[in-house]
Amino acid sequence: MSVKRFQRLLKIREAQENETAVVLAARLSDLAKVEQQRNQLAEYQSLYLNTSIPNDVRLMKQLSLMHQQLREALVQQDLRVAAAQSQVDQARNVWLERHQASLSLDKLIERRRRADAVEETRKQQSALDMWATLKAFQKGQGSGFSGLDD
């Protein structure tokens, strides 16, 4: 495969890598949002836990119900955070795979370029050697040297 074909393939791989980077960024944003919501719920819970206990039984029941609802909401939000983290991890793994594939292909292209450059140098050296041999032969022919006068 030629270097140009590898370069075209690299462009495709880099585009795929960029697409997965966009997905990863979206997942990270989603995770940040659900973590922020979880932190807000924890703050609300802290506020309600630090309120003074009312003397009224009805208010105590309402406060207890609010505590219960906040605990349940925090449990649910913890599950959302865990799911969002899992999606981030999954997106990061896909991006890492694509990134590694791009890096590997880039290294392959560089090795191929170096090998092509070495081959070109060999061809040029061979052509120069042939030219020098031809010139030496022509010079020897021109001076009357035939090599048969032994």
Domain range holding 65?
3-109
Q: Each residue of 45-98: pLDDT tens digit?
A: 888 778 787 788 898 888 889 889 999 999 999 999 999 999 999 999 999 999
Predicted model pTM: 0.71
The model's pLDDT over 100-149, given as tens digits with 9 standing for 90+, comes to 999 999 999 999 999 999 999 999 999 999 998 988 888 888 765 555 55
Residue 13 lies in a domain: yes
pLDDT tier, 22 (very low <50, low <70, confident <90, very high otherwise): very high
10 pLDDT more than 50: yes
What pLDDT, on the 0 to 100 scale, is given for residue 63?
A: 84
Please state the domain count of the chain.
1
Residue 56 in any domain: the answer is yes
HEC string of the chain equals CCHHHHHHHHHHHHHHHHHHHHHHHHHHHHHHHHHHHHHHHHHHHHHHHCCCCCCCHHHHHHHHHHHHHHHHHHHHHHHHHHHHHHHHHHHHHHHHHHHHHHHHHHHHHHHHHHHHHHHHHHHHHHHHHHHHHHHHHHHHHHCCCCCCCC
Inside any domain, residue 131: no
Asked if residue 150 has pLDDT above 50, the reply is: no
What pLDDT was estimated at residue 14? 95
The Cα 13–Cα 9 span in angstroms is: 6
Residue 142 lies in a domain: no
Residue 146 has a pLDDT of: 53
Residue 98 in domain: yes
Give a yes or no: residue 150 inside a domain: no
**Is 28 among the domain residues?**
yes
* CATH code for position 54: 1.10.287.1700
Q: What's the average model confidence in pLDDT over 27-39?
A: 97
- Identify whether 81 is part of a domain: yes
